[in-house]
């Protein structure tokens, strides 16, 4: 089986696999670039975008034999999006990255003066 590209994995995550996709490759690649290649964060952003569109386009509608509930669909999409964001946050927290704060100034000593204990 061929290895999937990050763009294809994002598409699978959001079930955007039809012959007429919701997003172009350029749009998905833009999210991947925005989030430094993080598939989970790009998936999160795509799902948030879908949820936003759902709320804007699919209002809560009831007719005689049809009903749609855009706000409920959006809520479910946002909950799913949060799982991808949480996974990305956890992955970032598990990495061995660190930073150190080095205080500047505040010393009453000259630059080359020794510190005596």
SS3 of 15-77: the string is CCCCCCCCCCHHHHHHHHHHCCCCHHHHHHHHHHHHHHHHHHHCCEEECCCCEEEHHHHHHHH
pLDDT reading at 96 higher than 60 = no
Q: Does residue 113 lie within any of the structural domains?
A: no
Q: Does residue 117 lie within any of the structural domains?
A: no
**Region at 37 (left for phi over 0; alpha for psi -120 to 50; beta for the rest):** left
What percentage of the chain reaches a pLDDT higher than 70? 79
Q: What φ, ψ does residue 93 adopt, rounded to 5°?
A: -70, -30
Q: Does residue 43 lie within any of the structural domains?
A: yes
Distance CA 106, CA 16 (A): 56
Range of lowest pLDDT (20-29, 36-45, 69-78, 101-110): 101-110
- pTM listed for this prediction: 0.67
Q: Does residue 50 lie within any of the structural domains?
A: yes
Q: Does residue 10 lie within any of the structural domains?
A: yes
Domain interval for residue 77: 6-86
What total number of domains does the chain contain? Answer: 1
pLDDT for 25: 96
Q: Does residue 19 lie within any of the structural domains?
A: yes
């Amino acid at each position: 089986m061929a290895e999937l590209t990050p763009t294809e994995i994002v598409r699978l995550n959001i079930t955007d696999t039809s012959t007429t996709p919701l997003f172009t490759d350029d749009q998905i690649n833009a999210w991947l670039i925005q989030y430094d290649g993080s598939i989970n964060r790009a998936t999160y952003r795509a799902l948030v975008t879908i949820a936003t569109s759902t709320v804007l386009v699919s209002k809560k509608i009831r007719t005689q034999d049809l009903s749609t509930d855009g706000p409920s669909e959006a809520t479910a999409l946002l909950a799913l999006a949060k799982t991808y964001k949480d996974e990305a946050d956890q992955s970032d927290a598990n990495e061995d990255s660190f930073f150190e704060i080095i205080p500047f100034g505040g010393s009453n000593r000259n630059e080359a003066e020794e510190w005596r204990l």
